[in-house]
Structure 1
């Protein structure tokens, strides 16, 4: 079974590994070129010492001696940890819950295979893939020979990424036993990634305890390329073993295709909402939407609570404060931080929004669209229902992020105006998310096998916000991201014009996708 899983993922796994290694090595090369002297690196450290920057990157202790290695540990380890965690989540769900939904697990279990064979094989695969990622990252970094990039630090860097992947592999394996459907397991597991990132951000901005209950925080506490502490990784390994130990016996206490949490008994007859495709689309995504809405609310509250301390926290910038403050002339620090936090929230909200529209492609691959389209339901109406659900979901998620940040921000600032301003600021990113959804719809219609590449838009947008300034990206490159065209309200004046053009682009992409979907064959 382990060999069969490798055979099925012979294309996916190399793509994932290259997608993790190349940005890491490429970023190191860019840092080496852009920050060739210690003075330039320390100037960058001063710029990265603001609370907003720390919340996006990592702990402040990396900034004390900002070598190339410290820059990689501070700015890239947490971000690439998210990618490794996402890879691990999708890998576990693909070979467990999705296999049960298609009926293949039942056929395999009917043969001479043990009850734990599938679970053991997928854990072997998760461990192997994360070990390969660790090894390739370590060799890729160490072979550069860059200043302060030691071999010990490089192997610790790779191991930290692997431990993040293993921690979320074990957690996802537990959710797979508890939940009945793959979409629920993916939704809650990816939601936990967002929560782990938020806990790490809160911890790094002052409440250190929260960093120690996040797998991403465990990796960054290794002080890679500085003190090279290996012991925090043992917390992640212990967490992985505990999750796996809990999941193993649960897999034998449930029926194949069922979850430990029994589904709520439905009504004797379908509601009026389920008699139309939009109602069905929302019913399939209900759990994911609820979990992510709650996560975005907490995300907003966590960041909004720091706005009242903006003036005090800016003192941590030190000697370079005067160089940074002119750019903020006439704008309160709280407004600047709020605008930055909202932009981060918009990136995070894109994850469930994309999951919402890509659910249609999953239904197609699983062969469930044929039965729906065999009746009077048109393709326009079917795809349109998923598009409508995704578009509405973006507004809900951004509203929840703005609401949470507004509630906490207005309390910390003792200014009720922040509640309305931050809700408007959150909703202002809606057209940018619609553009990403438009790209996904266009791919579903034109090149259905390439729909997963719609995630590249999100990754690029995150890189622009996360590393655009550090890598000194050209302005025209940064403007490719739809998020860069949104005014940073309330730090900047609200501007309707970009919202209009982004909405028009999204509408054009959706129209192309729907027209192409109507003309192509339904595939699996």
Structure 2
């Protein structure tokens, strides 16, 4: 067994009895570990928002077109539930309308991942216990994690403020603080969940569930009223971000609401952290049965991943229903705006606004489905690095059979998610399900290709496994933001989704689908061969 050694460059030297001893060293370690992903998060969230004025200015370049947006949102509750209300017809206000909720949600995801990674995950892997032997204070790791999230959210706020200052310095600052405020609310919430739960997976799941609830409350409230004043909207931190009203008579007192919730949740997290032992939790894991009931590697993989798949499935079905209910209003929102039509056609094809909208929504669901398949595939890496794979492989289970169990769930689950999304679209649009289900299945080729790329990287170079996330995130960004930024086709073609036929509304093209399926098979086999031949991590 390989001995675990500490990196003394980051080891605190004195003061082990103080609760915050070693916080600076742990903060430097956290920033070093996230030196690639953290700047990427900041650039994607902050940079996308900061650059939105240019793209939206091209789409809504006249007062009449901006007034049409306000009129459409006032009469279309389905679209309003997605984007929120429009408070002013200025370009800055349109940027806030289109991006504050989505980027706030992205900042929340970034923050919860950062905090859980540097708190509960450190305890789960045993590294926190090792650091505690180097005179690290009881609350140092929690403080370092929250400071890391604060730095990331401050970076987003700074990028947004600088990028949109030309539209109004006060509005740009308000929008940046709104997005960062959502991020910090969920950072401190993740800190609380990390104290309550025994595993990092459960801590992330609980925080993500609250984020989903916050989005649902915001959507319901926005659909009910046109001015963001519904009580359900005010129950959601994302709704608070909307009600900052950046570029539309800023409500600065909402910042105090964010600060109060962040402070209360941080106090709760610190209190809980001081009342438990390292590695322990306030919600203990349920004991298993006296006799094991999992006889195969596939049944074990299903047991480990079924909760995530069920949660993703419910989300896809609900999202499909919501997008489907928006379809009939898509043509009204686009109107005679040629720039918006062009963007929608780049995303969903040129078979008419309605079919292009449906194809674009199916594409978006598929891109999000790629995140699921990468997460599910890389569960293999988590099981290996946490040394939970060793007891399984010590029995009469080969590496390929062990990995195949997780891949069945990953690839089959991704196909199920796409079918649920297509079914939801049909239910929301109240049309025949067959064409939409067929169009959703076409997207499987690209989703499986991204999943197989994660298998390839994990099997050959497990330390570079995050590249699977990077490629999936790149494909999502190109598909969602690329058409709006009018990126060249050479850039958009980096995403496998760009090569698939835009259905419904266009003819089926088998060549790109079969090519991507063949590549997915080659990547998966190559990854499994690499896994079989390399040493397992310890």
| C-alpha distance in structure 2 between counterparts of 1:284 and 1:467, whole Å | 34
The residue number in structure 2 matching 1:228 is: 250
The residue number in structure 1 matching 2:496 is: 482
* Residue 514 (structure 1) aligned with residue 494 (structure 2): no
TM-score between both structures, scaled by the size of structure 2? 0.79
The residue number in structure 1 matching 2:486 is: 472
Cα deviation digits, residues 108-161 of structure 1 (max 9, x gap):
6689777655444533443344334434554x427xx7x42x433343333223
| C-alpha distance in structure 1 between counterparts of 2:264 and 2:49, whole Å | 35
Question: Is the 8 Å Cα contact of residues 126 and 166 (structure 1) preserved in structure 2?
Answer: yes
Question: Is the 8 Å Cα contact of residues 47 and 324 (structure 1) preserved in structure 2?
Answer: no
Question: Is the 8 Å Cα contact of residues 17 and 133 (structure 1) preserved in structure 2?
Answer: no
Name the Cα RMSD after superposition. Answer: 4.0
The residue number in structure 2 matching 1:401 is: 421
Task: Specify which of 190, 194, 201 is matched with residue 172 of structure 1.
Answer: 190
| C-alpha distance in structure 2 between counterparts of 1:44 and 1:511, whole Å | 52
Question: Is the 8 Å Cα contact of residues 446 and 516 (structure 2) preserved in structure 1?
Answer: yes
Question: Is the 8 Å Cα contact of residues 456 and 524 (structure 2) preserved in structure 1?
Answer: yes
TM-score between both structures, scaled by the size of structure 1? 0.81
The residue number in structure 1 matching 2:40 is: 19
Counting only pairs closer than 5 Å after superposition, residues 338-417 of structure 1 correspond to structure 2 as 338-410=358-430, 415=431, 417=432
Cα deviation digits, residues 37-58 of structure 1 (max 9, x gap):
9837976996897879967984
Cα deviation digits, residues 49-106 of structure 1 (max 9, x gap):
787996798445267222xx44643444444434422221112112222122123445
Using the TM superposition, give the Cα deviation of residue 163 of structure 1 relative to its aligned residue in structure 2, in angstroms: 0.9
- 5+ unaligned residues in a row in structure 2: which ranges? 1-21
Task: Specify which of 122, 141, 145 is matched with residue 122 of structure 1.
Answer: 145
The residue number in structure 2 matching 1:158 is: 176
Using the TM superposition, give the Cα deviation of residue 452 of structure 1 relative to its aligned residue in structure 2, in angstroms: 1.3
Question: Is the 8 Å Cα contact of residues 198 and 302 (structure 1) preserved in structure 2?
Answer: no
* Residue 81 (structure 1) aligned with residue 104 (structure 2): yes
Task: Specify which of 329, 332, 344 is matched with residue 315 of structure 1.
Answer: 332
1:275 match: secondary structure: coil
The residue number in structure 1 matching 2:90 is: 65
Relative to structure 2, which stretch is displaced further, 49-58 or 212-221? 49-58
| C-alpha distance in structure 2 between counterparts of 1:204 and 1:379, whole Å | 50
Question: Is the 8 Å Cα contact of residues 198 and 299 (structure 1) preserved in structure 2?
Answer: no
1:9 match: secondary structure: helix
* Residue 238 (structure 1) aligned with residue 255 (structure 2): no
Relative to structure 2, which stretch is displaced further, 171-180 or 84-93? 171-180
Relative to structure 2, which stretch is displaced further, 171-180 or 242-251? 242-251
Question: Is the 8 Å Cα contact of residues 42 and 155 (structure 2) preserved in structure 1?
Answer: no
Q: Residues 184 and 119 from structure 1, CA distance in 2 versus in 1: closer, same or farther, beyond 3 angstroms? A: same
Q: Residues 423 and 132 from structure 1, CA distance in 2 versus in 1: closer, same or farther, beyond 3 angstroms? A: same
Task: Specify which of 181, 196, 199 is matched with residue 181 of structure 1.
Answer: 199
Q: Residues 485 and 227 from structure 1, CA distance in 2 versus in 1: closer, same or farther, beyond 3 angstroms? A: farther
Counting only pairs closer than 5 Å after superposition, residues 27-42 of structure 1 correspond to structure 2 as 28=50, 32=54, 39=61
| C-alpha distance in structure 2 between counterparts of 1:329 and 1:503, whole Å | 22
Q: Residues 6 and 113 from structure 1, CA distance in 2 versus in 1: closer, same or farther, beyond 3 angstroms? A: closer
Q: How many residues align?
A: 506
| C-alpha distance in structure 2 between counterparts of 1:41 and 1:453, whole Å | 44
2:90 match: secondary structure: coil
| C-alpha distance in structure 1 between counterparts of 2:534 and 2:304, whole Å | 25
Using the TM superposition, give the Cα deviation of residue 434 of structure 1 relative to its aligned residue in structure 2, in angstroms: 0.8
Question: Is the 8 Å Cα contact of residues 191 and 292 (structure 1) preserved in structure 2?
Answer: no
Q: Residues 54 and 15 from structure 1, CA distance in 2 versus in 1: closer, same or farther, beyond 3 angstroms? A: farther
Counting only pairs closer than 5 Å after superposition, residues 192-231 of structure 1 correspond to structure 2 as 192-194=210-212, 196-197=214-215, 200=218, 208=228, 209=230, 211-231=233-253
Using the TM superposition, give the Cα deviation of residue 391 of structure 1 relative to its aligned residue in structure 2, in angstroms: 0.5
Question: Is the 8 Å Cα contact of residues 58 and 339 (structure 2) preserved in structure 1?
Answer: no
Using the TM superposition, give the Cα deviation of residue 437 of structure 1 relative to its aligned residue in structure 2, in angstroms: 0.7
